[in-house]
Amino acid sequence: MKKFLIPILLAALVLLSIGSVFALRDEENLYSSIRLVGRIITETYTKYVDDFDLKKAIKAGISGMLSTLDPHTVYFEEKEYEDLKVDTRGKFEGLGIVIGIRDNVLTVISPIEGTPAYRMGIRAGDQIVKIDGKSTEGIIIEQAVRKLRGPRGTKVTITIRRPGEPKLLDYTITRDVIEIKSVPFYGMINDEIGYIRLTRFSQEASKEIADALRSLKDEGAKSLILDLRSNPGGLLRQAVEVAGLFLPQNSLIVSTKGRKSYQSQEFRSFAPPEFDEGKLVVLVDPGSASASEIVAGAIQDNDRGLILGQKTFGKGLVQSVIDLGNNTALKITTAKYYIPSGRCIQKENYLKRKETAIYSKYYTGEEEETEEEEEEEDTTRELFYTLGGRVVYGGGGITPDVETEQRKLNRLEMELERRSMFFGFAIEYTKNHKDLSPDFEVTDEMVNEFKEYLARSDFEFNTRPEEELENLKKILEESEADSSVYEALIPFEEVLEKKKEEEFAESIDYIKRSIKREIVSALWGEKERYRQIVLKYDPEIKKAVEILTTPGEYEEYLALTKK
């Protein structure tokens, strides 16, 4: 009898609670729909042939309903809610990647600098198709976080699908304590240009940026490069405060718009700026999301500086966490972010899914648009205008004023990173070489030692032609081909082996930089890595310096475009 009363009471509570909601939103016969849900719960629980876990079944129903909305609206049970609270503290044990759902696939938004995932070469855009051999199809972000996090020293294997790579890639990564620093580095590039790297908008972000600005100005900085690449975002208030450090007091930075009037707000800079006159270049990439896009968008729309890099992620949905009691919660999207020109940051691809329950101009109940159709729509983006009248584009994300192309690793470079060859060599090399200075150069002798290390480590990689040749051999073997056929393939094997040596030679600059990167990190730490590697060789930083130092070029980019 007690078991029977549980669903009845549950249904009753649900029906009693909908009265006020129904009064606020009289749409689609809400009362009838919720009564139907209560009836299904009662009938199923009391009449189903086997006993079942009612709590688990209801959670599945809730998850199913929320999955028809956006990827960020989620129900948390006790363990999940505790994980969410850990997120806000900025310290946890895991791999060091920021993940999201992109095109219904679990995707790496960005690796966090200095973490195990970052060192092994995990990249923004990598799709995680398996975790410890189990498919991630249909997984939600919070479930993935629980699987990826774990005690320091334990291992997890993730299977990656990387655009342009024909095969899936397995990465076995050892978990560690992840401490997220807001500003891991700032310094002078030359006598007049300062550089600040901001990795996350944590509670101390604006303070750390302000301290860095004051220090750089004391050193003579007249221009600044603010690096927001692979910055996944963070606290809204910190985004407002960071943007306010570069904009005149009371400048509009971002606004939120929701269905209810109380969900619509404007956020303006409220304190005197620290750096509102010198030249400013902000670096972004596809891993720049949320709060990063607010800052970049506010600077662009107020004509305060140039945005350089690649189009940003397009995450402009505002979430509120509602405590439901019993240590459960609902994280629900309540508004969207709009930057000063009126552009919405959010990409609307989440509205184009056929399973969506959201009414929108995109939803037709049919299949999703193809990549070609989405690309065609992207070329007809709505035009907006900055405070000074420059043309900027809508459609989600921030389109840079100066667009650059991300360098893609070739197969050799990718395999060296994936298998931590540079990291392993640096550890071995620095055991016997303590007399180096931070500005050392990688010599041919060091490269030869690296090759010997690869041989000892049984490092092998196959080029695509080699893989095709191996497939051909299997076919020949299955067809019981004559040995003379195999002999005819020998010249091809020799050519491909020579080609592999040529590929190593073509990658020699990257290999030398990567060897130096890991040795510098091992001996002198992250800050010296920035000084010796990032500031000297990073192509976006070099382009920004070129713009800042070439007379008239910065001003030309900021000039009005034809309307």
The token pair at 417 is 């990173």
CATH number assigned to the domain comprising residue 148: 2.30.42.10
SS3 assignment, position 123: coil
Same domain, 284 and 418: no
Domain range enclosing 12: 2-52
Q: Tell me the percentage of the chain whose pLDDT exceeds 70.
A: 82
Same domain, 512 and 437: yes
Q: What is the structure's pLDDT at 384?
A: 93
Whole-number average pLDDT of the chain: 84
Give the pLDDT band (50/70/90) at residue 23: very low
Q: What is the structure's pLDDT at 89?
A: 57
Q: Show which of 151, 179, 207 is a domain's final residue.
A: 179
Pick the more confident residue, 465 or 138: 138
Same domain, 301 and 240: yes
What are the residue numbers of the active site?
A: 290, 301, 315
When mean pLDDT is compared across 101-105, 164-168, 293-297, 487-491, the lowest value belongs to 487-491
pTM: 0.75
> What average pLDDT does this structure show over 546-560?
92
Identify whether 203 is part of a domain. yes
Q: Show which of 125, 147, 179 is a domain's final residue.
A: 179
> What average pLDDT does this structure show over 217-229?
97
Per-position DSSP letters for 342-376, written without gaps between them: S-B-S-GGGGG-TT--S--SS--SSPPPPHHHHHH
The C-alpha angle 237, 241, 247, rounded to 5 degrees, equals 140
Give the pLDDT band (50/70/90) at residue 30: confident
Q: What is the pLDDT of residues 390-449, one digit of tens each?
A: 999 888 899 999 999 988 888 889 889 988 889 889 888 988 887 899 999 999 999 999
> What average pLDDT does this structure show over 483-494?
67
Same domain, 417 and 525: yes
Same domain, 426 and 456: yes
CA–CA distance, 275 with 190 (Å, rounded to integer) = 18
Identify whether 76 is part of a domain. no
Pick the more confident residue, 364 or 18: 364
Give the pLDDT band (50/70/90) at residue 214: very high
> What average pLDDT does this structure show over 34-58?
87
Q: What is the structure's pLDDT at 192?
A: 97
Same domain, 456 and 516: yes
Identify whether 274 is part of a domain. yes
> What average pLDDT does this structure show over 222-232?
96
Q: What is the pLDDT of residues 312-358, one digit of tens each?
A: 999 988 888 888 888 888 888 888 999 999 999 988 776 777 777 77
Question: Which candidate, 87, 58, 57, places its Cα nearest to that of 72?
Answer: 87
pLDDT at 462 over 90: no
**182 burial class (0-12, 13-18, 19+ CB within 10 angstroms)?**
buried
Identify whether 554 is part of a domain. no
When mean pLDDT is compared across 221-225, 289-293, 315-319, the lowest value belongs to 315-319
Instruction: Tell me how many domains the chain contains.
Output: 4
CA–CA distance, 169 with 160 (Å, rounded to integer) = 5
Q: Tell me the percentage of the chain whose pLDDT exceeds 90.
A: 44
Give the pLDDT band (50/70/90) at residue 57: confident
Which residue matches tokens 């939120």?
256
Taking residue 394's Cβ as centre, other Cβ atoms within 10 Å add up to 15
pLDDT at 486 over 80: no
Q: What is the structure's pLDDT at 552?
A: 93
pLDDT at 363 over 80: no
> What average pLDDT does this structure show over 375-396?
79
Question: Which candidate, 344, 350, 311, places its Cα nearest to that of 105?
Answer: 350
Check: CB of residue 143 under 8 Å from CB of residue 106.
Answer: no
Check: CB of residue 368 under 8 Å from CB of residue 113.
Answer: no
Identify whether 304 is part of a domain. yes
Three-state SS letters, 438-487: CCCCCCHHHHHHHHHHHHHCCCCCCCHHHHHHHHHHHHHHHCCCCHHHHH
Instruction: State the DSSP code for 234.
Output: B
Give the pLDDT band (50/70/90) at residue 517: very high
Helix or strand holding residue 172 (H, E): strand 169-174
CATH number assigned to the domain comprising residue 198: 3.90.226.10
Check: CB of residue 221 under 8 Å from CB of residue 281.
Answer: no
Question: Which candidate, 181, 123, 115, 120, places its Cα nearest to that of 149?
Answer: 115
Q: What is the structure's pLDDT at 18?
A: 44
The token pair at 5 is 């009363």
The C-alpha angle 397, 84, 150, rounded to 5 degrees, equals 105
**370 burial class (0-12, 13-18, 19+ CB within 10 angstroms)?**
exposed
Same domain, 382 and 260: yes
Identify whether 402 is part of a domain. yes
Same domain, 423 and 452: yes
Same domain, 245 and 311: yes
Same domain, 278 and 387: yes
Same domain, 520 and 452: yes
> What average pLDDT does this structure show over 104-131?
86
Q: What is the structure's pLDDT at 5?
A: 46
Pick the more confident residue, 310 or 111: 310
Q: What is the structure's pLDDT at 4?
A: 46
The token pair at 452 is 């010997």
Identify whether 551 is part of a domain. no
313: Cβ contacts below 8 Å, ≥ 6 apart: 100, 109, 232, 286, 287, 288, 289, 290, 293, 347, 397
> What average pLDDT does this structure show over 18-31?
53
Q: What is the structure's pLDDT at 98?
A: 84
Give the pLDDT band (50/70/90) at residue 10: very low
Identify whether 308 is part of a domain. yes
Give the pLDDT band (50/70/90) at residue 15: very low
CA–CA distance, 85 with 82 (Å, rounded to integer) = 5
Q: What is the structure's pLDDT at 28?
A: 56
Same domain, 121 and 227: no
